[in-house]
Amino acid sequence: MTFKSSTPLQADFCSLEKTFRGHRGAVTSVAFNSSGNKIVSGGADNTVIIWNFKDNYRAYKYKGHTKPVTSVKFTPNGNLVVSSSKDGTIKLWTPTLEGRCTSISAHTSSVNCVDVSYDSKLLVSCANDKSAKIWSLPNPKFLSSFSGHTNTVRSCSFSPDARLIATGADDRCVKVWSVDDTACLHTLQGIQDDITQVCFHPSGTSVAACSLDCSIMIWDIRTNKLLQRYIAHNQAINSIAFHPNGQLLLSASSDTKINCWDLTTGLLSSTIHSHTKPVITVSFSEEGSLFASGGEDNSVYLWRCDPKMAYVDPSFKQQSSTSLGKSPRIKSQQSSQQSHGYTEQTPPHSILRTQEHSATPPRSFQEQTQPSSVQQSAQHQFTQEEHFHPQQTSTHLTEQFHHPFYPPPAEDFQDESSDDEPDPKPQQFAPSSPHSSHEQPSSTSPPRSSILEDNLLTIMDQTQRTVEGHTKLIEALQKNMDNLHQRQVSSEAKLENIENTLLKILDALK
């Protein structure tokens, strides 16, 4: 069980600080303590490990679960570590060398996720028995149960003020519940496969969910409206995490990549290539300067964010706390949306535009509505294609709202069914021409739009060749990292055998 400082692996907004290795199976969950100087991780090897960042501090490894650990959390006050497992139990550990444990037989089947309220007084869990339950802390006592999903509940999360919880399940629904009376306030639909994780935006006014269908969807829970949808990866998305400043979102996928999304523009900000196998979990520290990731390569990576991108504006915290006081506490007045859920996958033009990103460079830009988006996409590690719905305008988001999750004007949420006007057509890009509207250009010269398209395709071909060269270099580096990791694992096994032999000798001498 080792951890080491690493040569910083630079990305657009972060650098690799440390690598922690000690699990003998996939790392299934990571979480920070409130001070941001420790990480707790759970693994498929049935163990829970607390990692200290300082080199001269040892890690604590706890054994008690009989099946893989599915989720781990520090309580915000730092007094306990909570873990859930496929063995159907929840364990409360004291984060000390002794690691005293209190076990809860929480559900009748595998417990998939746990979360702790901001005041460390409540614990929520969900399981394969299609239910979520709330428990009191620090002395665990069952308080209430939430039933309504028709299949395995995979993820659960408290809102920042702990008045609501969100759950996501294999029935492809996200449900938002009231903690006070266990009433289901919202049922959010649109995802096409099993949901892997749900989480609240730091403002408490919206909920995000990721799925095996490679998508991320974000809803405004005050209006039941879809805010954003991302086709974020080429394979299943296993975990997502909002940055505390509310402007960035991380997604971890089975394609071994971690993507960072800028929520103010709806564009991909950065892609991190570090793990050599599927990435299962990702989590930000409370102040947002660090984040951690873990996956099937049995490793936990600690990253430091660029201070400029990770800055948390104090005014945003104040606005968030104000909006929290207005969180929904009663059922929505739109009964039809509550009973059937939100089924529209494309939001109206007044809500944030839907962004779909592809990892394969596009061959044509006929669907682009603005050339500036083409120029922007060339700055990423791979070219992205934006698909705009015909109802959506090209107005920049920051010109409409101060923040993508603050409420737009009331008229923007009018019922689309009552709108008799035809859908506006997308704005078409046409180069300026010296000819008047009554004059026709010479038939011997090609149209300027055709020349522009040829130039764009040439730029795309050059960009694709550059990306392919970088991809080959990254693959070679990943192979080298994998070889080094295998050597390290072999060395650790030898050291463990030596340690066991010495212990046997000491026992014999006693």
Tens of pLDDT along the chain (510 residues)? 444 433 333 455 789 999 999 999 999 999 999 999 999 999 999 999 999 988 778 899 999 999 999 999 999 999 999 999 999 999 999 999 888 999 999 898 999 999 999 999 999 999 999 999 999 999 999 999 999 999 999 999 999 999 999 999 999 999 999 999 999 999 999 999 999 999 999 999 999 999 999 999 999 999 999 999 999 999 999 999 999 999 999 999 999 999 999 999 999 999 999 899 999 999 999 999 999 999 999 999 999 998 776 556 555 554 444 443 333 333 333 333 333 333 333 333 223 333 444 333 333 323 333 333 333 333 333 333 333 232 333 323 333 333 444 334 333 333 333 344 444 333 333 333 333 333 343 434 445 566 676 677 778 777 877 887 788 888 888 888 888 888 888 888 888 889 888 888 888 887
Establish if 439 belongs to a structural domain.
no
Establish if 381 belongs to a structural domain.
yes
Establish if 408 belongs to a structural domain.
no
Strand order from edge to edge, sheet including 184-188? 153-158, 164-169, 174-178, 184-188
Write the DSSP symbol of residue 342. B
Whether residue 167 sits in one domain with residue 18:
yes
Q: Supply φ then ψ for residue 161, to 5 degrees.
A: -95, 5
Whether residue 367 sits in one domain with residue 301:
no
Angle of CA points 248, 253, 257, to nearest 5°? 75
- Secondary structure, 3-state, 21-41: ECCCCCEEEEEECCCCCEEEE
Whether residue 184 sits in one domain with residue 43:
yes
- List the one residue out of 469, 470, 451, 448 whose CA is nearest residue 459: 451
Which tokens sit at 358?
A: 């592809």
Task: Give the H or E element holding residue 402.
Answer: none
* Contacts of residue 56, Cβ cutoff 8 Å, sequence gap at least 6: none
Whether residue 276 sits in one domain with residue 135:
yes
Whether residue 104 sits in one domain with residue 37:
yes
Q: Using an 8 Å Cβ cutoff, are 41 and 29 in contact?
A: yes
Whether residue 82 sits in one domain with residue 194:
yes
pLDDT of residue 481: 83
Whether residue 146 sits in one domain with residue 16:
yes
- Listed as own residue / partner, the contacts of 120-124 with beta carbons closer than 8 Å and 24 or more positions apart are 120/75, 120/76, 120/77, 120/79, 120/80, 122/158, 122/162, 122/179, 123/82, 123/90, 124/156, 124/157, 124/158, 124/165
Q: Using an 8 Å Cβ cutoff, are 104 and 140 in contact?
A: yes
Could you say which of 268, 285, 316 is where a domain stops? 316
Q: Using an 8 Å Cβ cutoff, are 386 and 355 in contact?
A: yes
Whether residue 300 sits in one domain with residue 377:
no
Decide the pairing of beta strands 184-188 and 101-105: unpaired
Establish if 53 belongs to a structural domain.
yes
Establish if 48 belongs to a structural domain.
yes
Q: Using an 8 Å Cβ cutoff, are 36 and 52 in contact?
A: no
- List the one residue out of 68, 91, 3, 6 whose CA is nearest residue 39: 3
> Within 10 A of 501 (CB to CB), how many other CB atoms are there?
10
Whether residue 77 sits in one domain with residue 183:
yes
- Secondary structure, 3-state, 160-172: CCCCEEEEEECCC
Q: 313-338 burial by CB neighbour count: b if 16+ within 10 A, else e?
A: eeebeebbeebbeebbeeebeeeebb
Decide the pairing of beta strands 248-253 and 237-242: antiparallel
> Within 10 A of 428 (CB to CB), how many other CB atoms are there?
8
Whether residue 240 sits in one domain with residue 145:
yes
Establish if 330 belongs to a structural domain.
no
Range of the domain at 139: 2-316
pLDDT of residue 462: 77
Number of folded domains that form the chain: 2
Model confidence, pTM: 0.63
Any idea what the CATH number is for the domain that residue 233 is in? Answer: 2.130.10.10
Measured between alpha carbons, how far is residue 84 from residues 26, 250, 395 in Å?
15, 23, 45
Whether residue 363 sits in one domain with residue 303:
no
Q: Using an 8 Å Cβ cutoff, are 55 and 5 in contact?
A: yes
Collapsing DSSP to helix, strand or coil, 156 comes out as strand
Following DSSP, what letter does each residue of 216-285 receive, concatenated?
A: EEEEETTTTEEEEEEE--SS-EEEEEE-TTSSEEEEEETTSEEEEEETTTTEEEEEEE--SS-EEEEEE-
Q: Rounded to an integer, what distance in angstroms lies between the CA atom of residue 96 and that of residue 255?
A: 36
Strand order from edge to edge, sheet including 267-273? 237-242, 248-253, 257-262, 267-273
Q: Rounded to an integer, what distance in angstroms lies between the CA atom of residue 381 and that of residue 470?
A: 9
Whether residue 193 sits in one domain with residue 106:
yes
- List the one residue out of 19, 132, 144 whose CA is nearest residue 71: 132
Q: Which residues share a beta bridge with 509?
A: none
Establish if 62 belongs to a structural domain.
yes
Q: Rounded to an integer, what distance in angstroms lies between the CA atom of residue 181 and that of residue 44?
A: 35
Establish if 44 belongs to a structural domain.
yes
Q: Rounded to an integer, what distance in angstroms lies between the CA atom of residue 441 and that of residue 434?
A: 9
